[in-house]
Amino acid sequence: MSSRQAGHTERCGSVSVEIGVDGRHFKLDTAKSTYALAVTEEGYLGHAYYGSSVRHLNYDQLLRLDEYPQEPRLLLREQSRFLNVFPFEFPASGLGDQRRCALELEDAQGYPGCDLRYQDFELIRGKPALEGLPSSYASEDGALTLIILLEDPHLKARVSLYYSLFDGEEVIVRSACLENLGNTPLQLSALISASLDLEPAAYQVLSLDGSWGRERQLNLRPLGSGCLEIDSRRGISSHEHNPFIALLAPGASQHQGEVYALALCYSGNHLQRAELTEHGRVRLQAGINPATFGWTLQPGSSFCAPEAFLTYSATGLDGMTHAYHDFMRSHLLPEPFARSHRPVLANTWEAFYFNFNEDSLLKFARQAAQLGWELVVVDDGWFGERHNDESSLGDWQVNPGKFPAGLGAFARKLQDLGLSVGLWFEPEMISPNSNLYRAHPDWALQLPGRPISQCRSQYVLDLSNPAVLEYCRHSLCAVLDTAPIAYLKWDMNRSLDCAGSLYLPAGRQRELMHRYVLGVYSLLSYLRERYPRLLIEGCSGGGGRFDAGMLRYCPQIWCSDDMDVLERLYIQEGTALVYPLSTISCHVGAAQCSCTGRNWPLDLRFLSALLGGFGYELNLGALSPGELESIKGQLKLHRALESLLLCGDYHRLLSVRENGERDAWCVVSKDRREALAVLIQIKAKPNTRSLRLRLIGLDPALDYEIEGQEGCLGGDELMHCGLPLDTLGAGAQGRLWVLHAR
């Protein structure tokens, strides 16, 4: 159902959209926030307000229309100044707004500039999908979507702005689609998904930055005059900069204060930026990175920007985290995996690398079955002539020397042991030493006349080419159809350089980076539809493509190749700030971490891996009988806690990043009757007194039993006085508490 009726309010559970009587004022309300827009007499769409819920608004005052140079009587003589201060909802460049803009467009003669004026609106129930891009979803009675139409009659260009609100959620989903209504091509060089002009304040900028092995570290710094940008130009969302940005108002912290956040639902080159203007206002934006983007928009065609997930919290970072976790679990992750059981997996990589055959894998599987593991993942080395990492990517045929009776027969043997089988793939890559490359050298990304750069002895397939996509679909399905494969690990181990396409015409090479990402989404979407119960885990050299776009197809993503306990605490704190715990693949690794050389006891490795999707990366033959028994107990405990970890509210209690000694978090069920708290001590100081760990999120009126302890403690006591930590000794160690309401 759609409506263009002005002067009414449409409701959907906890959210509503109010349309002014003149059809030029729009107020979007969630349970805790208000987002407001207004159109001036000249047709400019302005951003009026975003923050805590407000019943009534004075739009003219919020837009400062009575202030110079926005006063209407001065507009003709001061239009340039007006355009440079007005809080545009979707600013376009070239005609007077000198700030960073959301739309950069040229006509057929190469002249820049776009003048967007309000035309109309439409209000629909439900949530429309974006063609070719990952989209959040909702039932028709579970969401409202406001569509605002802006047009430039000179260019014959139309922009449709989408705002979706979801019943029970505190996230507003934004996107923008550009249409060419004319008879000549338009050249698009930037289309940002969401732009937000905010009131002056001494904001701090929060981003998740790092590198391979230390992804998504919290990075908080003041926003000074000018523009702060966080981006990727690597063809993937990257290890270095996650597609997320937040602004913290003065006084904001983990549990209090105002936070504005944008998370981009995109897996390629992205840009987040915050600009502090000369008048103290802040412009916050997120979208495809214009630095590596260009698009020829033919007459009658359109281009849609990816979705951006916008949220406002008045309760600090905790409120932001809960908004994102709840929203992604309910409206982004693929069914049936959002809240359902995930098999505890054993990955063969640490045990064998490339050196295995069916007999050695079966021996490993029997040990795994005895421990209670549910899934064995054959990680690399099962295809082509893949005896090391220097060949065979693209030759996705089972190696008969390793599986003489075929993959199907091997999978059935595992089924007899009560185990499922999973496989590692790297579908986007091609080895120079492969049958595929020898047959189709033009399928690799390359710049004519220049040598192709190698990384890990591999090139990148040109996923903008339909023939390449068809080959990938066929080769993947040829394997998946021969055996009951329950899990696919989708890896991608290098950045995109030498990024030229022999398929695309010369004048459209700047489309490649985005078309590549569309190709990835096309393949994943095809697999999701054909194999709806196939569990796909995303991976990109560890955590190099951990973003909301991939989560639409992959309900979990490998967090990092670094499984060192201390490093994982840093990585997982940043990741869990935005992404649900169920999406974070956290495994128990070897005692000595290959990335750092540090040794960690098994119980501490288990506690650090509890934060997300659980599994093991171990050489079972190297474990002692005592360690094997400990693993059985770990699996039993994890199964008892899995539902809580999948669906509960996560709270950060202590950060080893801040204090250098201890890390702690808890998860509380939605009804607040069950809770889990974990503390990991990295080091201890001599001559100190005992501490207490204050929990968060419990019901103060309830009493809680703690497993393994006598008596009860009140929820109010646990939150205000805390759990005693006087039993902690020296060195690295951890504690776990499981609480049940009495």
Q: Please give the Cα distance from 639 to 341 (Å, whole number).
A: 9
CA atoms within 13 A on the CB side of 525: 14
Q: Please give the Cα distance from 224 to 496 (Å, whole number).
A: 32
Q: Distances in Å between the alpha carbon of 91 and those of 15, 96, 97, 188, 321?
A: 27, 10, 7, 14, 29
Residues annotated catalytic, as ranges: 491, 561
Q: What are the residues whose beta carbons fall under 8 Å from the beta carbon of 69, sequence distance 6 or more?
A: 75, 78, 81, 82, 85
Tokens of 157: 């260009």
Where b means 16+ CB within 10 Å and e means fewer, 30-52 reads: bebbbbbbbbbeeebbbbbbbbe
Q: How many other β-carbons are positioned within 10 Å of the β-carbon of residue 417?
A: 13
Q: Look at residues 138, 126, 144 and name the one whose alpha carbon lies nearest to residue 10.
A: 144
Residue spans of beta strands (DSSP E) within 86-156: 103-106, 117-125, 143-152
Note the Cα 665 to chain centre separation in Å: 21
Q: Please give the Cα distance from 168 to 201 (Å, whole number).
A: 29
Q: Are 80 and 70 in contact (CB under 8 A)?
A: no
Helical spans, DSSP H, in 648-678: 656-659
* Cis peptide leading into residue 153 (ω within 30°): no
Tokens of 318: 């905790």
Q: What is the 3-state secondary structure (H, E, C) of 518-570?
A: HHHHHHHHHHHHHCCCCEEEECECCECCCCHHHHCCCCEEECCCCCCHHHHHH
Helices first, then strands: H and E counts in the chain: 15, 40
Q: Are 409 and 418 in contact (CB under 8 A)?
A: no
DSSP 272-339: EEEEE-TTS-EEEEEEE-GGG--EEE-TT-EEEPPPEEEEEESBHHHHHHHHHHHHHHHHTSPTTSSS
Element containing residue 490 per DSSP (H, E)? strand 485-490
- Given the DSSP bridges, would you call strands 459-460 and 429-430 parallel, antiparallel or unpaired? antiparallel
Q: Please give the Cα distance from 681 to 730 (Å, whole number).
A: 9
Q: Look at residues 592, 567, 576, 559 and name the one whose alpha carbon lies nearest to residue 682.
A: 567
Q: Please give the Cα distance from 262 to 195 (Å, whole number).
A: 10
Q: What are the residues whose beta carbons fall under 8 Å from the beta carbon of 193, sequence distance 6 or more?
A: 174, 175, 176, 264, 266, 286, 287, 288, 305, 306, 307, 308
- Given the DSSP bridges, would you call strands 270-276 and 282-288 parallel, antiparallel or unpaired? antiparallel
DSSP 256: S
Q: Look at residues 463, 386, 451, 452 and name the one whose alpha carbon lies nearest to residue 425.
A: 386
